[in-house]
Amino acid sequence: EISISNDSVYVYQLIFSGHKSSVSSIVSRLECNDHDYLILKKYLLDSIPDKNSFKYKTVLRAMNYRKFISSNLKPEYILTNILATEAEYFKDGLLTIKMRTVVGSKLKPTPTIASYITSIVTFPSWNVPHEIAVKELLPKIQKDETYLEQNNMNVVDSKGNPIEDSELNWQNYTERNFPYFFRQSSGSDNSLGVLKFNLQNPFSIFLHSTSLQSSFAKDYRFLSHGCVRLEKPFELAADMLRGNIDLDELKTGKKDTKSKTIMLPGKIPVFIIYSPATVVGNKVIFLEDIYGIVK
């Protein structure tokens, strides 16, 4: 199982250490043979004298991530750095697929997660989170009651039972008193696309496909409500399921295709991290702290 490393006490000592010799001593206790970790360690010792600097704190964060990941590493896993807006899929220890991602906006940030994908859902429906329903969708429906039909959505109660939306007086509802929920039916225009990778977590965060492929061409890709949209979901699913998936059926985008859950041969670790410092080749680079987390 994925577990928290015991090195947090050393990281705490690093943060409050005032001397380079102390930094060197503490870092040695965080030994790890991971390539990126060693590059970060060398950069920390050679290039960052100010322990209060942004670079110092972000390199420490990155080192802790690398130590945690390497101590829980499996031959097959997915790693995505939120700030890089990229996802990497490793198989047999080798980078097999690298793709762009779209992640949470500043107002709806993607959380950091260490968990597993256990199954893939084809043609998923989307149960719209209540906050999105009342703050974003309800005002649109009040302006245009055909919005639900145009977006392949239905109204349901708290038990999932369908409600006849034509009988509702939409103008009577506000954020505070709206008692229903929205469910978007499966299809290529579904917000989750035609593939959802079931990630075990308490935040209702998924990796999924999207019909908005044009968003991957943008430089700024902090655009979602928190879920991670994948540029190459079909390639990823085919590899994870060892080819046991009908990609042709998925690419047709039919609306009447039934949803199906396909269990993976084994659970696959997923690490969603937030690291302004990262390693490219043998070089440490720094990314903008979009969410303003590093203080």
* Per-residue pLDDT reduced to its tens digit, 20-54: 555 555 555 556 889 999 999 999 999 888 888 89
In terms of residues, how long is the chain? 295
Rounded CA Rg of the chain:
22
pLDDT tens sequence across 125-164:
999 999 999 999 999 999 999 999 999 999 999 999 999 9
Q: How far from 41 is each of 12, 45, 62, 66, 283, CA to CA, in Å?
A: 16, 6, 10, 11, 12
Q: Give CA–CA dist 177/192, Å, rounded.
A: 27
| pLDDT (average), residues 65-73 | 90
Average pLDDT, rounded, for the chain: 88
Lowest-pLDDT range of 121-125, 204-208, 255-259 = 255-259
Q: Which of 113, 79, 106 is CA-nearest to residue 290?
A: 106
Confidence of residue 14 (pLDDT cuts 50, 70, 90): very low
| Contact present, 146 and 260 (Cβ < 8 Å) | no
Q: Residue 12: pLDDT above 60? A: no
CA proximity to 293, closest of 62, 116, 69, 72: 62
> Residue 82: its pLDDT value, please?
98
pLDDT score of 24: 53
**pTM: predicted TM-score of the whole model, two decimal places:** 0.84
With cut-offs at 50, 70 and 90, classify the pLDDT of residue 11.
Answer: very low
- The edge-to-edge listing of strands for the beta sheet with 181-184 is 126-127, 181-184, 153-156, 162-163
Could you say which DSSP state residue 133 is in? I
Query: 């469910």: which residue's tokens?
Result: 183
Instruction: State pLDDT tens for residues 183-203.
Output: 999 887 889 999 999 999 999
Provide the pLDDT for residue 256.
Answer: 57
What pLDDT is stored for residue 168 in this prediction?
94
Least confident of 35-39, 47-51, 105-109, 287-291: 47-51
In this prediction, residue 248 has a pLDDT band, given cuts at 50, 70 and 90, of: confident
Q: Which of 32, 227, 242, 219 is nearest to 113 (CA)?
A: 227
Q: How high is the pLDDT of residue 254?
A: 59
Contact 44, 59 (CB under 8 A): yes
Closest CA to 183 of 253, 254, 133, 250: 133
Could you give the percent of the chain with pLDDT greater than 90?
A: 72
Share of the chain above pLDDT 70, in %: 88
Query: 234 pLDDT exceeds 80?
Result: yes
Residues 233-251: b if buried by 16+ CB within 10 A, e if exposed:
beebbbbbeeeebeeeebe
Q: What is the pLDDT of residue 84?
A: 98
Query: What is the average pLDDT across 105-113?
Result: 96
N-terminal to C-terminal alpha carbon distance within the chain: 31
8 Å CB contact between 131 and 226: no
